[in-house]
Amino acid sequence: MNPFAEGELATKKALSAFFPVTFPQSFIHHIERQKFNNMNTMKRFILLFVIIFFSSLLIGTQEYDISLAATENGHVPALDLLTKPSGETDAGGIIADKELGKKALTLIVKEMKNSDSDIRMLSCEILGKIGNKAAAKVLKNSLRDISKHVQISAAEALYKLGDKDALKVILAIINDVPGKKPIANTPLLQMKVISKNKIRERAIEAVVRVLDDDSKDLLYNLKTDVYGTIRDVASRQLAMLGEDEEIPHFIYALENEDEAIRYEAALSLSKICSSVSISPLKSALEKETSMRVKIAILDFFLCVGGRKIFMEDMIGLSSSPNATIRFKSTLALANIKDKKVLGKMKEIYSSGKDLGIKLAAMKGLIKHGQTSETGVLNAALASNDTEIKLLALDIINDFSIANAIPLLRIALEDKDAKVRLEAARQIVKKLSKKRKKK
């Protein structure tokens, strides 16, 4: 073997020892001819080592740049995300649990700047529920939001995170009573009073949520408020805290000839959600002619769910010609475990064409230990109806993390901010539980 051929063989062996790939013969030939001619063995070895070292740096840098470009500029379709189990990552941009959680949390914070005040309000509420104290700074910024509703949500969230001073913001809104003796009693002024009292109502509800029984003194004081709507809110909130003597006022209002009053009474009783009201509302439902009052009463039965005392009523209404009545009664039935209910859920699910009613029946089937169909949930998340998508997410909320994450990845990219936020909330919550288990 001539010296040049011998050098080529040595070069090939050295490269193979460092890299598990096959180098073209032309590459080896070029190195040997250009770099190794007229060198002794020691010089050849040293130069070879230098070439290998810098080549490895170059290759590593190129691979990093490629993956970075794919992550920043590449787009991964939602369908592709479903093919990867939770926690897996690849060069196509599939994000691991840690990155998914970060993305969800970033989305929640980003939506706090949404032009829609309802979305900003919802973002604040979610940050409060998550319980991460790092969110305090961004929540404090929302205390200066142009919307009082957002201020209330931000203050409530801060209080939950340990900032007790935030309660002052809510109390200030409650005490901001509209003028008792307006200069001119115009329709515009009346609208402003109604709007302001709606804000005060939300503030009162927030105080009750954070203070619980400690809010009773405030509520009893508000029962003497100049505005009847605020007095009713205070009475309702006291009933929610277990003061049952407040409930008869609302039950009595169900007999009023004015449909609007019956409707408000039914709404209040559905929020109070006390078993004391089951029999009166069951009777009211049987004789009520107004559809909107009936629907408000059904919200009550949905709230107190799981009671067989109204099972037959709900089974009958689940065949109503009114789609909303069918939907609400099916949801109320879904919480009752009974063989007769299971049979009805199967019937509704198999024959139902309305996606909302089908999802309501799915909740009942899952309650009875049946396996859900992912295809129906995918169809729901692909619909144009926000309420349908939120109902699907409500079902997904009870799934294991392995089954939920692929569907939540899809919802996280939804065009509707409410859907994105609910998906983000569930992702953060589920991944947080997973870390705690570890």
* Amino acid, res. 417: A
Q: How many Å apart are CA 382 and CA 411, to the nearest integer?
A: 9
Radius of gyration of the chain (CA): 32
pLDDT reading at 305 higher than 90: no
User: Residues near 68 by Cβ (< 8 Å), separated by ≥ 6?
Assistant: none
Return d(Cα 387, Cα 395) in angstroms, integer.
13
Does the pLDDT of residue 328 top 70, yes or no?
yes
Domains of the chain, residue spans = 3-71
The larger pLDDT score, comparing residue 189 to residue 265, is at 265
Q: Does residue 77 sit in helix, strand or coil?
A: coil
Q: Which two tokens stand for residue 427?
A: 């992702």
Distance CA(140)–CA(165), nearest Å, equals: 11
Distance CA 117, CA 112 (A): 9
- The residues near 103 (Cβ < 8 Å, ≥ 6 apart) are 95, 412
CB atoms within 10 A of CB 343: 12
State how far the alpha carbon of 126 is from the alpha carbons of 121, 324, 390, 399, in Å.
9, 28, 15, 20
| Distance separating alpha carbons of residues 20 and 10, to the nearest angstrom | 16
Query: Is the whole model's pTM more than 0.85, yes or no?
Result: no
User: 347 Cβ partners below 8 Å, 6+ apart?
Assistant: none
Return all residues near 30 (Cβ < 8 A) that are at least 6 apart.
none
Which among 70, 106, 108, 73 is positioned nearest to 89, based on CA atoms? 70
For 288-369, strand residue ranges (E) read none
pLDDT at 135 over 50: yes
Running DSSP on this structure, what letter comes out for residue 164?
A: G
Predicted confidence band of residue 349 (pLDDT cuts 50, 70, 90): very high
- CA–CA separation, 392 vs 356, rounded Å? 9
End-to-end CA distance of the chain: 62
pLDDT score of 82 more than 90: no
pLDDT at 154: 98
Greater confidence (290 vs 185) lies with 290
Can you give the pLDDT at residue 313?
Answer: 95
Q: 381: closest CA among 358, 337, 413?
A: 413
Q: What is the model's pLDDT at position 359?
A: 97
**Alpha-carbon separation of residue 247 from 203, 239, 265, 391 (angstroms):** 22, 6, 10, 30
| Residue 289: CB atoms within 10 Å | 7
Considering the chain, what is the average pLDDT of its residues?
A: 83
Q: What's the rounded Cα separation, in Å, for the pair 381 and 361?
A: 17
